[in-house]
Structures are given as C-alpha cells and as structure tokens.
Chain A
Amino acid sequence: EIVMTQSPATLSVSPGERATLSCRASQSVYSDLAWYQQKFGQAPRLLIYGASTRATGVPARFSGSGSGTEFTLTISSLQSEDFAVYYCQQYNNWPPWTFGQGTKVEIK
C-alpha cells in the first residue's frame, strides 16, 4: 500500500498571500496524483488530477506540480473561499486508493 504524507498539517496564511502545500508518496506514483479541497461541512471537490491538470471550473490560482514521490499544490493568492482542508490522493497503485491526512489552510 502506498502511504501519502502531507505537510504541514496546518498552514496559516493571510488573504492575498501564496500558499504551498506538500504531499509525499512512499513510492513513486508517476503523475497519478489528485488534489481535493474540502470546506467545513461540505463534500470534497476535485481540484487537480494528473498532478498538474486543473479540473473543470477550478480557478487558475490553483496549480499542481511534481512527479514520482514529491508533489506540491500552490495557491497563488489566497481568497477567503480558499480556506479549507486539502487532500492529496494517489491513484497509481490500486487498490487501495490512498489519501494523505490533509492540510488545513487557515486564516493568519
């Protein structure tokens, strides 16, 4: 089973600032990596798949990068609606499909 590890657990950022979230896989997942956003009390929402492809309707301020075992989600200029928990997920070596434990982006 591939273990996904996200860091940091919590990221405190001021509106308008840049946020950088990290995700590491225990073995290579190529670019088979997705990012999801979950706001409090809501379902997850797909942001990125293929490590860097934005899903339909996702603003350009969200970008993904990386391959192999190291991945990054960058939010270029945080908006109020971006404060949420973000999860990475690998879909390379399945089953199981595995998620990271999440990074909470909170207002500084």
Chain B
Amino acid sequence: EEQLVESGGSLVQPGGSLRVSCAASGFSFRTYWMSWVRQAPGKGLEWVATIKQDGSEEYYVDSVKGRFTISRDNARSSLFLHMNSLRAEDTAIYYCSRNPELWLRANYYYYMDVWGKGTTVIVSS
C-alpha cells in the first residue's frame, strides 16, 4: 500500500525553528516529485513547497521563501521541511503529497495523488 506518514509537528515559539518529516512506503519514492501542502485552522489548502526527484529543483510559495527549505533523502524514502523564523501565520496542519508526472503539450505537469494524514505545527508564545 502506498503510504505517507508525517511527523515532527509541535508547538514552537514565534521566530523558532522546526523540521517536519514524511516517511514514504509502498512505492518508488525516488521516482516522484514530492510536495508539502498546509492547511491553517478552519481554512483551505495552500501549497507550500515542491522538490524534484533528485532534489535539483525546489519551488516555494512566496510567503515562505527564505524561511523554509524542502529536502529529501531518497535512500531513506523521506521528505523534510525545515522551517525557520516561524510566524503565527505558519500555524497549520502540514501534509506531504506525492506528485505523479504528466507529459502533455511538450511540458511536464504535476498533481497530487497520495497524501499523508498530516502533522500539526502551532506557532505561539
């Protein structure tokens, strides 16, 4: 069974740092782009960051650029999100997701087909 399991969420003070992790199983992790998506309390889904199979490309939503870093360890089938300078508005459930690749119209496109259950990050003093 294809599965993603997040961990590492906790309560952290504003300005603090945290690393959340995602363990993948049941599929060839190294062949997929992977993403983090978050959901603030009572709000909708917001894409946060995406990383290419080999880690050579990373993409971020503007609000976290320079503060968050996505990374991966293909040998351990793990995805990470390193979060620095955390703000109250970063409070959310953080989901990792698998991104299958579509080759269409001479370009690659990526949607999100497998999701973990999420890990909760609370930024508060």
Contact = CB atoms under 8 A, between A and B. Distances in A.
A45 B115 CA distance: 7
B44 A101 contact: yes
Contacts of B116: 43
Max count, chain B CB within 10 A of own CB: residue among A45, A46, A101? A46
Interface residues of B, number: 25
Contacts of B59: 94-96
A30 B47 CA distance: 20
A49 B111 contact: yes
Interface stretch (B13-21, B71-79, B81-89, B102-110): B102-110
Contacts of A101: 44
B91 interface: no
Contacts of B11: none
B95 A89 contact: no
Contacts of B44: 87, 99-102
Contacts, number: 68
Max count, chain A CB within 10 A of own CB: residue among B113, B116, B118? B113
B104 A34 contact: no
Contacts of B61: 95-96
A87 B115 contact: no
Contact of B115 (A43, A92, A94, A102): A43
A62 interface: no
B109 A91 contact: yes
A44 B112 CA distance: 10
A80 B47 CA distance: 29
B111 to A, nearest CB: 5
Given A95-B50, A99-B44, A32 B115 contact: no
Interface of B: 35, 37, 44-47, 50, 59-62, 95, 102, 104-105, 109-118
Task: List the 6 shortest-distance A-B pairs measured between CB atoms, nearest first.
Answer: A95-B59, A97-B47, A43-B115, A99-B45, A34-B111, A91-B111
